[in-house]
A and B are shown apart, each in its own frame.
Chain A
Amino acid sequence: MQAVVPWAVQREVFTKAEDVTDPKYGCQPENRPMPLHVRYGIVNVDKPAGPSSHEVVAWIKRMMKLSHAGHGGTLETS
């Protein structure tokens, strides 16, 4: 009766071609130096009920001196 949620489905991968990556370019996400880690990063914020998401984003931008930030949505309020 209940379906498996899409984010819980195990990923099955097929290989089309053989190839290796050049260590000279790019960087594994887990090894990014801080500025890149922040730039390509996401924070899961437990937002208090008061400020709006927009205000929280503005606050974080100011605090961390970011030129750009956004949010992925919040809970609908009761």
Chain B
Amino acid sequence: MEDATKVVQSFLFSGKEYVCVMEIHDDVPESTLREVMTEFVGEIYQKPPLRASVKREPRKRFIYQLNLHEIEGRRVLFSCSCQAGTYIRKLCSDIGEVLGCGAHMRELRRTCAGPFTEDGGSVTLHEISVANSEFEAGNEGPLRAIIKPMELALSSIPQIVIRDSAVDSVCHGANLAVPGIVKLDSSIEQNRPVALLTLKGEAVALGRTLMTTQEVLDRESGIAVKTERVLMERGTYPPLWKH
């Protein structure tokens, strides 16, 4: 909501988990099916389907896990943890192609997107409506519980904690220099999405790294992060020269 809308972008970088029912077009022994599915764990190539809003070029996606749960005749129930932007429908049809007989996706449910899980706090529109009515009547409890801080969406990307004195300039779009850094994740790589947070845990901005963790630890100066999306309102922390 409001400013948290920008955080949604980083959330799109995170992976997703799905549960899927795939139907294969012939009877295939379980061992063959398992063997073929194992081949799809790791790096795969996918060309986005006709109705996608992205460029229709083959692209690399990462499948972290593929777990076969149940087989009933030609219907296969499996779960999949994968990089954002992976088309499960395409995965099913590619599995079918490798099997030789073809396959298609029958049913799909996303069980989590990064830190947001199905049974870990998803709410129905009805529940939102009830909580909102409560809030308007003076009881903020239910609505407060339903709404998560936007920082939760940042938990799956690397984080860097910055000094109070560096906050306001980042809020104005300035890049982050090494002296402004207090703490950082241990294995940050170059040219990766990163979240900048205050010592109180508030999201300040999203950016892209220009240095690795080791470079930041070794150096006393230089630009560590290119600020890309400011999340915090300017003036929340005072500008440096006012101290």
A-to-B contact residues, CB < 8 Å:
1-7, 11-22, 25-30, 32, 34, 37-48, 56, 59-60, 63-64, 66-76, 78
Contacts and interface: CB of A to CB of B under 8 A. Distances in A.
A45 B149 contact: no
A26 B200 contact: yes
Contact of B41 (A2, A22, A60, A70): A2
B183 A13 contact: yes
A28 B157 CA distance: 19
A4 B187 CA distance: 15
Interface string B202-239: 11000000000100110000000000000100001110
Contact of A64 (B1, B3, B64): B1
Nearest to A29: B149
Contacts of A39: 1-4
B150 A42 contact: yes
**B-side binding surface: helix, strand, loop or mixed?**
mixed
Interface residues of B, number: 83
B101 interface: no
A39 to B, nearest CB: 4
Contact of B149 (A2, A37, A48, A78): A37
Contacts of A43: 1, 123, 128, 146-148
Given A2-B64, A26-B202, A46 B124 contact: yes
A44 B117 CA distance: 8
B128 A13 contact: no
Most buried by A among B4, B123, B148, B217: B4
